[in-house]
Amino acid sequence: MKTLLRTLAWGSVGLSILAVAACGGTGDMAGKGQVSIVLSGSGATGAALVAGPTASDRDPGCPAPAAASVTISSLLARSLDGVLVDVTIDLPVTVDLLALGGGTETTLPAGFLPPGTYDQFVVVMKQLELTLANGTQVAIKPPGGGWTSIVRVSAPFTVEEGKTTAVTLIFRKDLSFACGLGKWDFTPRFDCETGRHGKKG
């Protein structure tokens, strides 16, 4: 009986180790700085996204969207020497892009980067689904590999081990959607603001 219990106990430890490894493991965080990424939004929403210069110019086949749920599949940051580095972060995450802004924000899981200075983010997205004002759901097919948005930061930011860098990615609703003859197009645009807060990583 004792042998059986010891076997079960070691089996549980083994499963725990495998679970940590599947999530990247704590070793992946060693020597890295934390990046706190918040998603916000700006620009018009609803009918203004698909409106022409006058009401008569609006395409009747493009009713106003009420929600836009997109899956963020990966994030990368570019160092000053032009190297793209994967942000270690628990993705994918699904976000309603049209809900962002006006005081509404979404904080992504904690991310980690090697110490260094970075001047750009690359956001990769998949599986966009619009919910129109009339309740219709429209799935927009991404290009091969998903949508990729290259985001220049307001100023290069430095990641340091043991510190947290705050990043705000601002989704530009007014520049990201287009619709004509009932066909939707998505070209995601973001602005980026960065700033350091003193919390330890």
Give the tens place of pLDDT for each residue, 24-43: 344 457 889 999 999 999 87
Q: Are residues 101 and 18 in the same domain?
A: no
47 lies in which domain range?
Answer: 31-200
What's the token pair of residue 192? 């980026």
Of 158, 84, 155, the C-alpha closest to 122 is 84
pLDDT of residue 58: 52
Q: Are residues 25 and 111 in the same domain?
A: no
Q: Are residues 14 and 96 in the same domain?
A: no
Beta bridge pairs of residue 25: none
- 114/107 Cα distance (integer angstroms): 21
pLDDT of residue 37: 96
- pTM over 0.95, yes/no: no
Beta bridge pairs of residue 95: 70
- 31/48 Cα distance (integer angstroms): 46
Q: Are residues 106 and 89 in the same domain?
A: yes
Q: Are residues 57 and 94 in the same domain?
A: yes
Report, as ranges of residue numbers, the positions in the chain whose pLDDT lies below 50: 1-27, 47, 51-57, 196-201
Q: Are residues 99 and 141 in the same domain?
A: yes
Q: Would the CA dihedral through 158, 159, 160, 165 be positive or negative? A: positive
What are the phi and psi torsion angles at 75 (to 5°)? -135, 140
Domain of 179, CATH number, reads: 2.60.40
- 173/66 Cα distance (integer angstroms): 12
pLDDT of residue 59: 67
Q: Are residues 22 and 38 in the same domain?
A: no
pLDDT of residue 178: 87
Number of domains in the chain: 2
Q: Contact at 8 Å (CB) between 48 and 30?
A: no
- 28/38 Cα distance (integer angstroms): 22
The identity of residue 65, as a single letter, is P
Q: Are residues 46 and 65 in the same domain?
A: yes
Torsional class of 164: left (φ above 0), alpha (ψ -120 to 50), beta (otherwise)? beta
